[in-house]
Structure 1
């Protein structure tokens, strides 16, 4: 059974028609092994690319493409990087990662992330943009979600918005059900759960101002 119905494709095509700049998707997966959702993720990305000539897909094998795996710090699959491309067709990595198939409610945040990159606009307030310029330490955001969580997409999109705005931030969406051992290691009992630099965490989808405040608490030092 196809992942996207014809009705889905029509609606998605309308959304993607709003794209301005091309977007590059880097997909890390593997054919063999125990990656349960790699094939489905690859099919979904292929369907998505067929709906817009502004989306370009590049595939990497998690086992054999070690240079790319190391360069982009991919430690679990399936993984998707939503990136940009410059005029020389060079990849612009904004630090935006999806670990696990972006299905259920997370497909909406995936589409919104693509549109954000294509429009070259984080959609953050001017105050938030100014505040993020105060960061002087790298911040790694991990947002643990499940596809059936209606509030998770807001947390994921907010994390990707700040990552797009600041090159000091990397943002990972992590599908807890696909990576249960990793979720258990990080004591994920409620989603969305957001972890910053493996030292600070909070649960729920926070308003923009509170989210930025948490980012600054770990990424801004007085020295």
Structure 2
């Protein structure tokens, strides 16, 4: 099952085990069970601290990783390869006693949770967002024996996916009821379970002294800004809704100079690790809701947060990024994650053998259609313009596929459904004006980005597209406020450009600080 290279790597990791673990396999006579049996045999052969035995779980194939003689363990109803191989390795190490990389305060929050929590995560092996959720819940089940978790490959358990109406991954159930959908970190999950956590965090934020530079947003631009600011030796903070930003939703990255290939989640982790190497106050899970400019030159700028707390700083760098643009048609929001999806890599396997549509004829739309064509029964690509805008090489590949239809000059006007899930869409032929209906089970929207700047309206100058207007130094219309990345008027939305813009904004903020004296009362404070 594992090639020699993977065996060698895994064997080195397993030397870190300090506690004996057992693999408990529930198998039948299917090909997938034989595949899982081979994987578990390979793992058990690599360490004398690992044993295996048969189990009788209702889901077959599946297996548990248990710490021998204890209630500590995790379960996979999956063959965790692909993006989930890291989840498997971490589960082996953590159940085997290797200390996890987690702040002790957060670990204690998990240990102190009271009650019985039975989590089930439906994921797909091609989903780059799923491992974060799987790994967070696995770790929680290792830290607290009242927490139980099973990661379920939706492609293996299609009947269960249908019965429980799972239309996107990751989808998490708690004690048999829907809990949440989408990527979740351990901090987010704990915040949902520990009802007093948000108010405690707000109290901590209120007590913070003012910053010299406050970065709002934790994507590539925000990370670069924080590093450049911290290296100047000034008090630097980062308030981010989720560190990594939209890069966490990106699969393959092949144009990041000097790195031939990486993936978004891996880059997102590296960004946060680099920032934390410096004296930066990182405040995660913080959504900004308002910006209050300084009342006098050199005064403090205030950033108000959703939890009711506020942060103050002598300068601010806005790097709130962008999100997938929605179609804005009837039915889209109602059927979001019930057939309307935005990540073909994540959710594509859930539509195996079904008919789907891709909205958008740019590179992302055509790439999505090509990927989906290898999984689903049929793909209909719908493009508003009279021609597709994707690279010609991608268009040639798309046209060579026998299970793809391309509709040009077509405007999607409505998403149809039966109250539970998508059943089709309506589009208008822009040349004839006639409306047509397409029956399908899924709609993948790939029509570009929308800047996360609604909270700034009326405070800083925004372009007609909602982007923060900046000059060549990253300065906005508000003194002391700078901006960088996909939320701004920078013409090209690329990771490497966002990083450069973040660095520019930090250097400009520092220049602003050394040229602007703080009021005497602030200096005295």
Q: TM-score of the superposition, structure 2-length normalised?
A: 0.35
Larger % of helix: which?
Answer: 1
Q: Which residue of the other structure, out of 49, 53, 57, is the alignment partner of 2:48?
A: 53
SS in 2 for 1:105: helix
Q: CA deviation at 1:120?
A: 5.1
Structure 1 Cα separation of the partners of residues 124 and 67 of structure 2: 26
Contact kept in structure 1, 2:132 and 2:185, CA below 8 Å: no
The 5 Å alignment of 1:143-158 reads: 143-158=121-136
Structure 1 position 215 matched with structure 2 position 193: yes
Contact 1:141 1:194 in 2 (8 A): yes
2:125 matched to 1:142?
no
CA contact (8 A) 1:22 1:55 kept: yes
Shift of 1:95: 4.5
Where 1:209 maps in the other structure, the secondary structure is: helix
Aligned to 1:176: 154
Per-residue CA deviations over 1:132-155 (Å, capped at 9, x if unaligned) read 344332111111111111221121
Change (3 A) 1:9 1:130: closer
Aligned ranges 1:61-140 → 2 under 5 Å: 69=56, 74-85=57-68, 91-119=69-97, 121-140=99-118
Alignment partner for residue 191 of structure 1, among 169, 177, 184? 169
User: 2:133–2:185: 8 Å Cα contact kept in structure 1?
Assistant: no
1:4 pairs, out of 2, 18, 21, with 2
CA distance in 2, matches of 1:105, 1:128: 25
1:152-171: CA deviations, max 9, x gaps? 11211110111111122110
Does structure 2 retain, via aligned residues, the 8 Å contact 1:122–1:164? no
- Tell me, yes or no, if the aligned pair for 2:91 and 2:138 is still in contact at 8 Å: yes
Change in CA separation of 1:37 and 1:215 when aligned onto 2, cut-off 3 Å = farther
Checking the alignment, whether the CA contact within 8 Å between 1:154 and 1:205 is kept in structure 2 is yes
Q: How many residues align?
A: 195
Cα distance in 2 for residues equivalent to 1:112 and 1:23: 13
Cα pair 1:116 1:123 within 8 Å, conserved:
no
Cα distance between partner residues in 1 of 2:124 and 2:39: 18
1:42 is matched with: 37
Alpha-carbon distance between aligned partners in 1 of 2:161 and 2:100, rounded to the nearest angstrom? 28
Distance 1:129 1:8, change over 3 A: closer
Aligned residue number for residue 25 of structure 1: 23
- Runs of 5+ in structure 2 lacking a partner? 196-525
Contact 1:95–1:169 (CA<8 Å) still a contact in 2?
no
Task: Report the aligned-residue RMSD.
Answer: 1.9
Q: Is 1:160 paired with 2:142?
A: no
Which range moved further: 172-181 or 127-136? 127-136
Q: Deviations over 1:20-41 (max 9, x none)?
A: 222111111123xxx3411100
Contact 1:123–1:161, Cα closer than 8 Å, also in 2: no
Q: Which protein, 1 or 2, shows the higher relative CO under an 8 Å CA cutoff with sep ≥ 6?
A: 1
SS at the partner of 2:167? coil
Per the alignment, residue 220 of structure 1 pairs with none
Alpha-carbon displacement from aligned partner over 1:41-100 (angstroms, at most 9, x marks no partner): 00110011111112111123xxxxxxxx3xxxx221111111112xxxxx3232411112
Tell me the distance in 2 between the aligned counterparts of 1:194 and 1:149.
Answer: 14
Going from structure 1 to structure 2, the CA distance change for 1:5 and 1:120 (only over 3 Å counts) comes to closer
Cα deviation 1:85-137 (Å, max 9, x = unaligned): 2xxxxx32324111121222212101111101112535443333333344332
Deviates more, 1:172-181 or 1:7-16: 7-16
Q: Which moved more, 1:124-133 or 1:196-205?
A: 124-133
